[in-house]
Every structure is written in C-alpha cells, then in structure tokens.
Amino acid sequence: MDDEATRLKDATAALKADEKGLRASLKDHASVTPLPELKASVAALQQQKEEMSERLAKLKNGNIKPITPEERDKVAAEYNKWKQSLAARRKIRTEMWKVIADVNPDPEKLADVKESLGLESI
C-alpha cells in the first residue's frame, strides 16, 4: 500500500510538471499574433509606405511651391508676437491668482474659484 501511494505521489508530481510545461507552452502560443492580424498590419503599413512615397516624390519633383524668405520671416515675426503675448498673459494670470489666493486663504473656496475661472492648470 505504501509503495502504491509513493508511486502515485511520484506520478502526480510528474503530471504536475508536465502540466506546468504545457501551460507555459500555451501561454507562449497565445501571445503570438494571429496571421490575419499580421496580414492586416502589413497591408496597412504598405499603404502608409505608398502614401509617403508619393509625398516624397512630389517633394523631389519640385511640385511644391517653395516658401520665400520674406514669407518665412513674416511667419516668424507673427509667431514671436504671439509668443510674447502668451508670456504677458501668463504673467498677468499668475499675478492675479496670487492676489486672489492672498485675499481668500480657504483652500475649498480657492478650488471653487479656480474651477469657475477655468484655471485648473495653475
């Protein structure tokens, strides 16, 4: 009887080891991307490649209107103007918020005021 119990315990241990190996194998196979998904991905990437190749061909052929230095300078000047305006507005917002925080030190009321003014990013 003891021999049979020992034999069954050994058989159970061997079967559990086999089960563990099979589960690992199943997990490996489950993580592999199915062939239809791979084909769809390849098709999408090929289409993207073709679109980019067409855009590149247009750029190489010179079919795109070049930007003159004057236009580039004009855009850069306008960008700098808006950038300065943004910095000034940000400074005004920060100073105003400091005044509001000094007048009303209650955190709950400050949170309500901040939310009502749309200043969650401060």
pLDDT in tens, 46-101: 999 999 999 888 888 877 777 899 999 999 999 999 999 999 999 998 898 888 88
Kind and range of the H or E run holding 62: none
One domain, residues 116 and 103:
yes
pLDDT, residue 57, reads: 87
Are residues 61 and 71 both part of a single domain?
no
Q: Does one domain contain both 44 and 82?
A: no
Which residues form the domain of 43?
Answer: 33-66
Using an 8 Å Cβ cutoff, are 120 and 114 in contact?
Answer: yes
Is position 4 within any domain? no
Is the pTM for the entire model greater than 0.85?
no
Same domain, 72 and 110: yes
One domain for residues 50 and 73: no
Regarding whether 100 and 53 lie in a shared domain, the answer is no
Q: How many structural domains does the chain have?
A: 2
